[in-house]
Amino acid sequence: MNFIDQKFPSLRFRRTRKNEKIRNLVSETSVSANDFIWPVFICDGNNIEQDVPSMPGVKRRSIDLLVSAASEAFDLGIPAICLFPYTEQSLKTEDCAEAWNPDNLSNKATRAIKNEIPELVVMSDVALDPYNINGHDGFVENGKIVNDKTIEALVKQALSQAEAGVDVIGPSDMMDGRIGAIRSALEKNGHSEVSIMSYAAKYSSSFYGPFRDAVGASGTLTGDKKTYQMDIANSNEALRLVARDLKEGADMVMIKPGMPYLDICRRVKDTFGAPTFAYQVSGEYSMLSAAFEKGWLDRNKIIIESLMAFKRSGCDGILTYFAPEAAKLLK
């Protein structure tokens, strides 16, 4: 990079910081409601709203209340939501068949939202953990998470979601080869316009704990997910995974978690130039929320600053639980 050979006092950086209007003129990064995907949790029943204790302000909603909340989010300018079901324990099985049930919570919510707010983009989660008695993203056989048999189930799950009207399929399972298999199945079954946002670089992180509470997976998980999610120490591997998933048919890629992995966001965007997203995950949300409750951080300023960091690192969009609140602040 070439810099102008200019010295103080002819060079004064404070000139462009003189007032808000000048600062806005030279601002390099912006964030808006258009950049947000709002992750939401669904529970069974009617007129039900349940607090998630480890995620202050976040709620599970029955489908009727979720549709209302989604409509409000859309009116705030948020273009997309991502659905995560709270599956009753009785529906969690070894074969995970509820994952591709046309009338499971996720699919029913998709149809209800599309019926009321057809322009709102609906993103789904493709993984077996909400439906697996073992709490894993894939089938467990003899203590091991099996890859290829899991892919067959993930394809059925993705197709059921596409049939329900999902716009963006989000495979979060981290099985090898699942993007190619899902893309092929979507094409063969008349869903060529359904997009795939691959959780391409999903790390085996400790920041996911509150999310597992929200979907009811904390008590069922046996062991850990280190044989399929990424080693937190690795960076080059993330680029290899993104390259593979783009080659197999992913339209967009995601890095997860977000704030502790902004270096990965930048590397991915600079290397591939593909639509790049990050997930400001439950642990990040809860960590900030705890500081807000203590009065240690300024809530409004920190919410925007944290989201700005994603955009500055090269992300095109952010999955964030702060989406509705941030959209109101930005208005």
User: Active-site residues: which are they?
Assistant: 202, 256
For 2-27, b where at least 16 C-beta lie within 10 A, e where not — what string? eeeeeeeeeeeeeeeeeeeeeeeeee
Residues 199 and 242: their CA atoms lie apart, in Å, by 9
Helix (H) or strand (E) holding 280: strand 276-280
Residue 299 has φ and ψ, to the nearest 5°, of -55, -55
Amino acid 144 reads: K
Residues 328 and 65: their CA atoms lie apart, in Å, by 20
CA distances (Å), origin 199, targets 144, 250, 330:
21, 10, 28
175: left (phi over 0), alpha (psi -120 to 50) or beta: beta
- DSSP per-residue letters across 88-113: -GGG-BSS-GGGG-TTSHHHHHHHHH
| Residues linked to residue 197 through DSSP beta bridges, in sequence order | 252
